[in-house]
Amino acid sequence: MEKLLLKLQNSLGRLSCEDADFRYVELERMRLRSKNGILEEAKETFSRGIGFRVLNGGAFGFSATSDLSEKSVLKHLKIAYESAQRFSKIRHTEVKLASAKPVKSRWVMPVAKDPWKLGLKEKIGPVIEAENRLCWQEGMDSAASLLDFTRKRIIFVSKGGSWIEQVLYRTGGWIYGETWVESRAFSGGGSEKIRRSWPGPSGLFLGQGYEAIENLKFIEETGRLAEELKELRKSPEAPTGNFDLILKGSILALQIHETFGHASESDRVYGYEDNFGGRTFLNPGLLGGAPVASPAVTLVSDAGPNLGPGTGSFAYDDEGVSAKRIEIVKRGIFTGYLTSRETASFLNQPESTANMVAEDWSHYPLIRMTNTSLLPGRGSLPDLIQDIREGYLLDNELSWSIDEMRLDFQIGGEAGYRIHDGKIKGLVRFPVYHGNTLDFWKSCDRVAGKEEWRFWGFPDCGKGGPYQEAFTGHGLSPARFRNVRFGRE
Amino acid sequence: MLDRIRKASRRILDHAEGLPLQIFIRAKKGILARFTNNGVHQNGFQEIFSYTLRLLTSSGPVFAESNDVSELGIQETLRRLRTVAPDPEPFSPPPKADTPKKREHFPFPLEKAPERAAQAVQEAVGILRRAQASANGYYSAYERFFYLSNPEGLELFHPTTAVRFGVTAIKGGGKGYFSFYHPDPCRLDVPHVVQESLRVAEAASRQEIPVPPGEYECIFSPRAFLELIEPLRRHFDARLTQDGKSVFTGLLGKQVFSKEFTMREDLGHPRQFGIPFDSEGHSKRRVDLVEGGVLKGLLGEGHSTRGLLEHPFYPQNLVVEEGTFSLQELFEKIERGIFINKIWYHTLVREPAMEVTGLATAGSLYLEKGRIVGRAVHLRYHDSLFSILNSVAGASREQILLKDGEMGAALFPYLWVSRLRVV
């Protein structure tokens, strides 16, 4: 394979165009689904191929193939070149790229336990055990889990002289217990399922190997899940009204992801995502001076290793730019976008923020969140709780919806812990809160400290056409928001 | 292509040494280009070939998928499959039945796909510029092949082509979306799609009408209605219903929706397109799901999507029965209401009542006394799908063909609903 790639690197060098690159990718994925202690479905996927991107006459062309014969790959390089040429004739704005230093590098994400070196039973044993423990509980209807492992080898080669090889791992999973309760959703009665999941309904994904699953301690969590489900059978529904809110874990990761995470993607400023991903309320005029959150809020994007093993981590993005930390919101002020080499140039920035990621070899890279994290403040979760007279603590999301500018949102939780006079006083069912991104983040009066910090992450952030999914990490400590609207009248 | 696929299938069977395998092969070639007024900003020509091998075990199916058709690649894929399924069980062979004949493959000059994409974008942008509008859109043209085989001699093959073109026009603060899909690329009429999107954008540009919370009459575009009912679709699974896990459990034969609403799973409809066999090799057949609001049928054999989609049985070829009105006549029936052209971030909030929320976008118009007054801004709905479908009051004569996932299509009219709860 290396011989072919070297030949292709020479072909790139001979192209008469502004820029060109290719990515050879081998992508392996293994998903194990089990239910009530039985492996229900196992799916292993392997794909490899090559994608060429050419900038010619101020326009991009892209072509990808899984046929790795020399004839085929040269044909696809030609298709990318000629597509760019065709599209350059109908462009009205010339694409210019911010500079990127040529790099020769090899980086393998450090993992303690490579999931591909473990047997099936070894991998799935702990979750099967956890499911069985959940199923033994009185009133439990079912328990299920998912384990999901990804290993991706990327060789990025550019006309400018870069040759970067990376091996990335993404690992995560979830478990849930489910019970049926008398429904209060509609007057006719009937039953309704209630679910408690750990670490969240979409799982927790990290840039790690199997150790990520071990650290989730599925078996230890089953007791709490079962107790909470038991309590939820008798719990009231969450009320309507204004209350203080603490978000932690998966639901706070989602809140960050859907609001400032997507809003800070600079391709949305230029209308590139108008008919799918939407636009953004963060226009360039707000950059550097506009308060968009309270001073307690600092959000950063960093695919590097400094903050922890986020599932969006890498050493170089899919344009060959090295990972770096940028501040999106600094103490409540909007300070930066996630950019590509193209949008960095639009925004007169000297270099991109290294946020270009493609799902695999067959997709064009897009501006993506990598690890978008809320930096910690001070104190513990109990410190946040003790200052609340009447409020709720939410951990896991159940439903979410946000408008195309990333402003008006509504998010529902699996369950909520009621807080009264600084103490947790039981659970409520189906809490739903809603608000406006700016008002909501301006109402954040405190973020807990480093001792509560943890990385969360999702495996399936969708964007682009052809549609592609990305892993996104979110480091966070619990955060408190004042006077939030609950319920739908 | 069939030769290449057959060769790969034979090679897999040779290496499988009698394993009771099922082989599903997918191949895809084509282009997708996304554009704004400034030209194409994202594009990709893709040539993809992959195979999925399926084994049955006592606890459930096991899948291994790869695109490496070399001898070593096939051996490795089989090794992985054997590791997770050391004691596979034989599949029960699908009964011999005639699969519906469905022509979905039309002449498709693949090598000209980038050129055609550039021409379509250039034509669209020209019209939009002359109309002093801006836009965002996409053009895609693909040739796809689906093939299913097993060691017992089962061999099913379905070639398809498709062109899709969609435009969101923006004019004077108004937005309008319109799209086109058909298996025959020659049917694409770029100016028509652009003009339709412009027509909605111009209507939406008149004035902003904030919509206070309350109940409103609504007309849903076919695309918006297909998106609206998405959370209901998996519940038409017969096994889920039998297990008491579907919202339709116990409701078979009962009135669940308005008498004005009839929906079928019907690949045989003359205007429908899709794969004529399911993921287990069974022939697809028509199922009357809802007839005059009564739950009539559910999906079982012949509608399996196991290994291909998240849900094991999922409708792929929905047809909602047309009504008697023109779209203009539907508009004229609205005293005070909203035309919803496209919905955005639609999500299920609670399952038993099918409580959903989402927003209207890209050409949501406020209507009064049968006339368009302006664009409905900031429109979030929060309502039960049972309640919405119970209030279907009519449908348009016109039905629009919509691409629905990789393997199916939907044929929907414009739907008139007498009440939708806006929050």
- List the domain boundaries for chain B: 2-204, 208-422
The DSSP output letter for B322 is P
Residue of B22, B26, B46 best to disrupt the A interface, most CBs of A under 10 A:
B46
Among A148-152, B89-93, B312-316, B330-334, the range scoring the smallest mean pLDDT is: B89-93
Size of interface A-B (CB pairs under 8 A): 217
Query: What is the band of A92 on the pLDDT scale with cuts at 50, 70, 90?
Result: confident
How many CB atoms lie under 10 A from the CB of residue A119? Answer: 9
The distance of A379 to chain B (nearest Cα, Å) reads: 33
Mean local confidence (pLDDT), B194-209: 95
User: pLDDT per residue over A397-453, tens digit each?
Assistant: 999 999 999 999 999 999 999 999 999 999 999 999 999 999 999 999 999 999 999
Confidence of residue A85 (pLDDT cuts 50, 70, 90): very high
- Nearest CB partner across the interface for A93, out of B38, B80, B140: B38
B400/B181 Cα distance (integer angstroms): 9
User: B353 and A185 in contact by Cβ < 8 A?
Assistant: yes
Neighbours of A436 (CB within 10 A): 15
Token representation of residue A257: 């992801």
Which residues in chain B have their CB less than 8 angstroms from residue A63's CB?
44-47
Q: Are A369 and A338 in contact (CB under 8 A)?
A: yes
Mean pLDDT of chain A: 95
Report the percent of chain B where pLDDT is more than 70: 100
Residue B95 has pLDDT above 80, yes or no: no
Question: For A345-372, what is the mean pLDDT?
Answer: 97
- Give the confidence band of B255 by pLDDT, cuts at 50, 70, 90: very high
Q: Is pLDDT above 60 for B291?
A: yes
Q: Is the pLDDT of residue B386 over 80?
A: yes
Q: How far is CA A228 from CA A134, A183, A341, A421, in A?
A: 12, 17, 48, 21
Find how far residue B307's CA is from the centre of its chain: 18
Mutation site for B-interface testing, chosen from A41, A76, A194 by largest number of B Cβ within 10 Å = A41
B65 vs A contacts (CB less than 8 Å): 43-47
Greatest Cα pair distance, chain B, in angstroms, is 71
The single-letter code of the amino acid at A409 is F
Would you put residue B18 in left (φ > 0), alpha (ψ -120 to 50) or beta? left
pLDDT tier at B91, thresholds 50, 70, 90: confident
pLDDT digits (tens, 9 = 90+) for A279-321: 999 999 999 889 999 999 999 999 999 999 999 999 999 999 9
> For A132-141, A211-220, A374-383, A396-405, which range has the lowest pLDDT when averaged over its residues?
A132-141
Q: What is the pLDDT of residue A483?
A: 98
Nearest to A474, CA basis, from A273, A119, A202, A142: A202
pLDDT digits (tens, 9 = 90+) for B149-162: 999 889 999 999 99
Q: Which of A52, A65, A69, A86 to mutate to test the interface with B (most CBs of B within 10 A)?
A: A86
Buried b (16+ CB within 10 A) or exposed e, B76-87: ebbebbbebbee
Q: Tally Cβ neighbours within 10 Å of residue A188.
A: 8
Residue A188 has pLDDT above 60, yes or no: no
pLDDT above 60 (res B293): yes
Instruction: List phi, psi (to 5°) of A439.
Output: -60, -40
The closest CB to that of B166, out of A183, A275, A488, belongs to A275
The C-alpha atoms of residue B166 and residue B178 are separated, in whole angstroms, by 6
SS3 B223: helix
pLDDT surpassing 90 at residue B312: no
Whether B114 and A186 lie within 8 Å, measured CB to CB: no
Of B34, B59, B81, the CB nearest to A38: B59
Nearest to residue A139, comparing CAs of A37, A220, A237, A229? A229
Q: What b/e string do you get for B205-224 counting C-beta neighbours within 10 Å, with b at 16 or more? A: bbeebebeeeebbbbbbbbb
Q: How far is A66 from chain B (nearest CA, A)?
A: 6
Percent of chain A at pLDDT exceeding 90: 91
Q: What is the pLDDT of residues A155-185, one digit of tens each?
A: 999 999 999 999 999 999 999 999 988 776 6
Query: What is the C-alpha separation between A374 and A119, in angstroms, rounded?
Result: 37
- Decide if B65 and A44 are in contact by the 8 Å CB cutoff: yes
Residues of chain A positioned with their CB less than 8 A from the CB of B121: 87, 90
pLDDT surpassing 60 at residue A186: no
Q: For B2-204, which CATH class?
A: alpha beta
Residue B350 touches chain A, beta carbons under 8 Å: yes
Q: How far apart are CA B170 and CA B202, in angstroms?
A: 8
- The phi-psi region of residue A323 (left if phi > 0; otherwise alpha if psi is between -120 and 50; otherwise beta) is beta
Nearest residue on chain A to B54, judged by CA atoms?
A43
Whether B137 contacts B127, CB under 8 Å: no
Rounded CA-CA distance B210/B231 in Å is: 28
Domains along chain A with CATH numbers: 2-232 (3.30.2290.10), 241-486 (no CATH)
From the list A276, A96, A92, the residue with the least C-alpha distance to B39 is A92
- Three-state DSSP string of chain A: CHHHHHHHHHHHHHCCCCEEEEEEEEEEEEEEEEECCEEEEEEEEEEEEEEEEEEECCEEEEEEECCCCHHHHHHHHHHHHHHHHHHHCCCCCCCCCCCCCCCEEEEECCCCCCHHHCCHHHHHHHHHHHHHHHHHCCCCCEEEEEEEEEEEEEEEEECCCCEEEEEEEEEEEEEEEEEEEECCCCCCCCEEEEEEEECCCCCEEECCCCHHHHHHCHHHHHHHHHHHHHHHCCCCECCCEEEEEEECHHHHHHHHHHHHHHHCEHHHCCCCCCCCCCCCCCCHHHCCCCECCCCCCCEEEECCCCCCCECCCCCECCCCCECCEEEEEECCEECCCECCHHHHHHCCCCCCCCCEECCCCCCCCEECCCEEEECCCCCCHHHHHHCCCEEEEECCEEEEEECCCCCEEEEEECEEEEEECCEEEEEEECCEEEEEHHHHHHCEEEECCHHHCEEEEEEEEEECCCCEEEEEEEEECCEEEEEEEECCC
Contact at CB, A274 and B136, closer than 8 angstroms: yes
CA-nearest residue of chain B to A406?
B345
**Mean pLDDT computed over B355-378:** 93
- What residues 43-72 of chain B have any CB closer than 8 A to a CB of chain A? 43-50, 59-68
Q: What is the mean pLDDT of residues B78-101?
A: 81
Enumerate the residues of chain A whose CB falls inside 8 A of the CB of residue B122. Answer: 90
Rounded to two decimals, the pTM is: 0.96
Residue B100 pLDDT grade (very low, low, confident, very high; cuts 50, 70, 90): confident
Q: Is the predicted pLDDT of residue A151 greater than 70, yes or no?
A: yes
What dihedral angle (degrees, nearest 10) is formed by the CA atoms of B297, B299, B302, B308? 160
At B374, list the tokens. 């302006």
User: Can you tell me the mean pLDDT for B328-347?
Assistant: 96
* Statement: residue A187 has pLDDT above 70: no
pLDDT of res. A184: 66
Distance from CA of B168 to the nearest CA of A (A): 6
- In angstroms, the separation between the Cα of residue B352 and the nearest Cα of chain A is 6
pLDDT, mean of residues B241-255: 92
State the Cα–Cα distance between residues A106 and A156, nearest whole angstrom.
Answer: 10
> Which residues fall within 8 angstroms of residue B77, CB to CB, at 6 or more apart?
A44, A46, B51, B53, B64, B65, B66, B68
Band of pLDDT at residue A76, cut at 50, 70 and 90:
very high
pLDDT digits (tens, 9 = 90+) for B68-87: 999 999 999 999 998 888 88
| pLDDT at residue B365, rounded to an integer | 95
Q: Compute the nearest-CA separation of A239 from chain B (Å).
A: 15
B348 touching chain A per CB within 8 A: yes
**Averaged pLDDT of chain B:** 93
Assess whether the previous peptide bond of A199 is cis (omega < 30° from 0): yes
pLDDT of amino acid B84 = 83
